[in-house]
Structure formats: structure tokens, C-alpha cells
Structure 1
């Protein structure tokens, strides 16, 4: 079994190395196929996302990715956006669940954010109209809207989820979100055994802040999903503990959703849990469900015991100490 490995930038090599060690300790027999993306790839190949990397993922179908740096307001386009569009990874899935030992204001949060990954404002279709005026295009198509809502309902059916909430702003963006909402209603009719509700995105954010436990599966367009998925991560401890995955018809890329943290890169201080949990999602996806479940159980036990945790988790440990604890709790 071969998985593509994109180490990424900053702390990426450190946290992906930890994930590789834990996957091996879980008894998975696999080979990692290296592929380049990020600042290092730009320096080496003159391109932050070489075509060869896309071809490698197409060949092997599954990849684990560390964080990649995207320059703010200059330089190259977002690697994540290009990766998702290049491989048509149309569905972003972000599981958000309360973890033991992580102090947060809420308990019993257990929801899934499903985000359309290829269209909308987040796709970055922009141009200068005249100096001082920039126009961004928000493209919504029936095909993309239908397939992401259907993905959310199929996910709910397969994982025993009971409610799908479609998030929109159709009262203002009547054509684009109106089309999306019409598609959502039509798809919902195909799944009468799953509850369906439609809510304006601002109401959803308000209700998430007041009581996130009422939500089950949330589905929405690209930019809304980017904001809401990070908001939801904050409900359970932040981006350092939440996994992420991007699915297409043929390929899947699993990734830590946090940044590359260049300020602590190379210091051995990075928390690898997000990418470790993303690796667990990857294993579940390829049929190594027992190994994936054991890794998730080890994460929960490690956080609950509180030994060897990194500073962002309230400890004084290192990447190495938390990795050792994750492996010890995996095999205990």
C-alpha cells in the first residue's frame, strides 16, 4: 500500500514525521511516496505545486499533507486551492468533536462541517477592473451544488447522522445562493429519513456560539465553509487538534488544517495531533479502520492523561515526547 507524503513547510516535516511513526506503530504496512509542495518546492522547482506532485497523487490516489505556507496578498496562489481544483477534491470534511482533557467552554460537541471545495469566492477568480477597483467572481454551478449536498447526505447516512443543515445567504445573494438552496432542497427530497433544515449563515454562527451541540452535519459553499470550519475547531480546542480531509471522485488528500508556524519550525515544539488524526482518517478511508480507530483512541487517552503534551496543549513537552506517548498509548 502506497500513500503520497507532502511534508509541507515550517513545522510540516516535524509533524508529518510524527504521523509516519504512529502509523507504523499501529501496524500498518505501507510505503510513503514523497511529493513536493510549498516554499521548498518553489525554491527547488520554481513552482510551489509542481505538476509532478499532482500526477503522483493521481497515480496513488491518497495523500497525507503537512501545512504549506501561502504568502498573504502577494506571491503565488494558495497551494491548497490549486491542489483541490487540480484534483477536483470537491468535498472538504472537517470532523469537530470534544476531546478529553482539552479545556473548552462546551461539552458533547460532535459535528461535521462539509464544505464545497472548488467554487465560490474562495476559488480566487479576481481581476482589476480599473486601478483601485478589484472584482471577485462568486461562481456557483448546479452540478457542484448538487454533488456537495448529496455528499453531505450520503455521509450522514453512512455514519448514522440524523440531521443535515444547509447554510446559505439566499436572502441577499438570491441568484447564487438561491440556486444552491434550490439544489439542496431537491437533494434533501431523496433522503426523507434524514432531517433537513436550511439556515442563514449568520444565524448558524450565532447558534454555534450559543449551543453547538444541536448541530450534526453542516454543509455550505466554499468561503462560508472556510470560516465556519475554523470557528468550529475553536469550540473543541483549536486547529492543533482537529483533522481534515478533501475528497474527490478518484483522489483524497488528508491534511492538518493549521498553519506552518515558521516561528517554531525546527525547534521540536510542534503539536502533531492534527496531522496524526488526519492520518487516522486516511487509514479509515483505505479500509484500515482498526488502525485508524486505535490511533484515535490513543489521542484521546494521551490528552486525558496529560503527559508529554506540547505547550499549546498546556504541557511543557515536545513533539518527541507527545509522539512517544501516542505510541505508548497505542500499544498499551
Structure 2
């Protein structure tokens, strides 16, 4: 792990620092115009030192200045929750008035990584005459969590996963087609004679999905998702097809035609994050299937593949997401059935 750079304190270090007692070197500054000053301009409040790509380092940005424009030494002390110094650093020959960024990776400057907990970063500047600035400080916490990749896969029967439908008067939605328990048959233009007017039959489906790690700024840590159907054209209507779509921000998107041959047909693989819907605080993915214009299509079941990340900790036993996981259907959502694009 890379240790704190030699010159500047990382701006990522400052996370709502509480002022703390100055080190012995930071005596009361002399009352004249030559006293240097140190200001921590920005720093985050939390650092996750585990190298997983998420807030692995803290960037602290600071400005050191002196009225007579001399070179400065910047002293950094990191104290634990009881005030003990657990890391120290001195950057020499810092140009007066310079704004500098310094990255900290949670190291103790002697090759180790500090344990999780709350810390205080203290910074002072000393000019060439030995004048010492007042101390500026920030609080920062180290979190021992690590992001790990997870994949959830599962199948669910077509009818039990249905949460809505749109069956126009000239079409039919049938259950238990081909003797398949929980299946659905989408039969467009089965009624009204040969009017030639396309008649839609479509359904809405949804399942609760595992909850990913969530960051206040970046939101859910979901990766890719993909829905598949297992089905094909009805036995009496060869060549029939259906269209699969995903629900996003109040509209249907990512439409793809499901083939007529009996078997598995894949919907579009896409980023899951924009398609996450929250129901009673739980994340849900919603999709729709439909057909029209005398197409007859049978579906036995759907599958979901979802990639996401969880935050885990060293002292917690981590269980892999069941694969296949048990997909549960939301009951309180109302989503309009998809129209065919």
C-alpha cells in the first residue's frame, strides 16, 4: 500500500475534523505579522483503506502561507480516539501560498494500516525563522469494509411473477398453456373476426432483488442485469414472436424481440442501476412482455441475472447470495402494461 506522499496532505483525509490538542511543537504563535498560517481547504470524512476501488484514499487539500513569503515545513499528526499520535509526517520546503493536495491511504507511515475507528488529522506550518502557525484539524474515520462482487441468478414462473396486464378486447391471455404449470399464453387477435386491427396482449412482471451497497452520492452499486424468457410460438401459430421490455423512470425501454423457437431467449443486457424501483424500501426490477397482430406466444418462465456489490467486514461471516436465489414478487406496485414499440 502506498504511504502518504512526501509533500502534501491528501484532501480526502479531512472529514469533519474536530479540533484537538496541538502537539508540543505548536506553541502559542508570536504576536507579529510574520506568523505563518495553515488552512485545510477540504477533506472527506470517511476512508475505506481496503483496495477495492471505493474511497481507498483520502485527498486532503491545504494551503500554507507566510507574510514574508518564506519556505515552510508542514507537520502532520494523526491521533486516535484518545489523543495518542499514531502517525506523523513532515513535508519540507513547501512554497508559501501554495495549495497542495495530499493523499492518505490509511497507513501509519511505518508500513502498516491503521485499524478502523475515528481519528483526527492535525496540521501546522513552521517558517524558516521557526515561527509556528496555529493548528488546523479535521476529523476522519477509517472503515474496514470492503466491496465484494455478487451475482444473483434465478428463475420464476410466468404467471406467479405477474403484477399487471393489458388484454385488449380482441385478444386473449391464457394460463397453463401446453400443460406447463404457471405458464402464460399471449394470443393476439383471437376474437373480433378478421378486422385486421392489431390487438395487444401484454403483462407486467416484477421481483425483489438483493440489496446492493448504497453510497449517498453514487447511489446503488448495481452492475449489469438481464431478463430471459423460456418459451416460443404457440403450437398453432408458427413464427410468432413477442417483445420484452424493462421499466425505467416511468416508461418502458430496452425493447427486444423474443424468437419463435421453443427455448431460452435473452433480453437486452444493460446497467441495472437505472432500472431499480423501490417498493417499501426494497429494490425491485420490473419487466414486461407482450405481442400483437395475430402473434401467439407461450412463456413458461423468466430468469434474472443481476450483478451487484456488497460491503462486507472482516468480523462478519459472508454468505454468498443463493444461486438461484428465491425471487419474491412485489405486491404494492402499479405499473402500466407495455405497449409495443
Please state which band the TM-score falls in when normalised by the shorter chain.
under 0.3
TM, length-normalised to structure 2: 0.18
Which structure has the greater CA radius of gyration?
Answer: 2
Q: Identify the structure with bigger relative contact order (alpha carbons < 8 Å, sequence gap 6+).
A: 1
TM, length-normalised to structure 1: 0.19
